[in-house]
Amino acid sequence: MAPETPLDVLIGLSQDKLDAAGEVLAELGNERRQAQGQLTTLDGYRVDYTRRLQSTTEGGVTASNYHNFRQFIATLDEAISQQNRIIAQIDTRLEAGRKQWHDEKQRLNSYETLKTRQNQQFQYHEQRREQRASDEAAANLYRRRQPH
Q: Which long-range contacts (CB under 8 A, 24 or more apart) does 118-125 make?
A: 118/5, 118/7
CATH code of residue 79: 1.10.287.1700
Q: Is 68 contained in some domain?
A: yes
User: How far is 138 from 20, CA to CA, in rounded Å?
Assistant: 55
Q: Is 14 contained in some domain?
A: yes
Give residue 60's identity as a one-letter amino acid code: G
State the chain's maximal CA–CA distance in angstroms: 128
Query: In total, how many domains does the chain have?
Result: 1
Q: Is 94 contained in some domain?
A: yes
pLDDT tens profile 48-60: 999 998 988 888 8
Alpha-carbon dihedral of residues 61, 67, 72, 77, nearest 10 degrees? 110
Mean per-residue pLDDT of the chain: 93
Among 104, 137, 116, residue whose Cα is nearest residue 23:
104
Q: Is 30 contained in some domain?
A: yes
Domain that holds residue 68: 7-107
Phi first, then psi: give them for residue 139, nearest 5 degrees: -65, -40
Query: Is the pLDDT reported for residue 23 higher than 60?
Result: yes
pLDDT tens profile 60-80: 888 898 999 999 999 999 999
**SS3 of the chain: helix, strand, coil, percent, to 5:** 95, 0, 5
Burial class (CB in 10 A: 0-12, 13-18, 19+), 85: exposed
Query: For position 87, what pLDDT does the model report?
Result: 98
Angle at 81 between CA 52 and CA 35, to 5 degrees: 95
SS3 of residue 4 by DSSP? coil
Q: Is 46 contained in some domain?
A: yes
DSSP 62: -
Specify the pTM. 0.75
Q: Is 43 contained in some domain?
A: yes
Count CB atoms within 10 A of the CB of residue 108.
Answer: 20
pLDDT class for 81, splitting at 50, 70, 90? very high
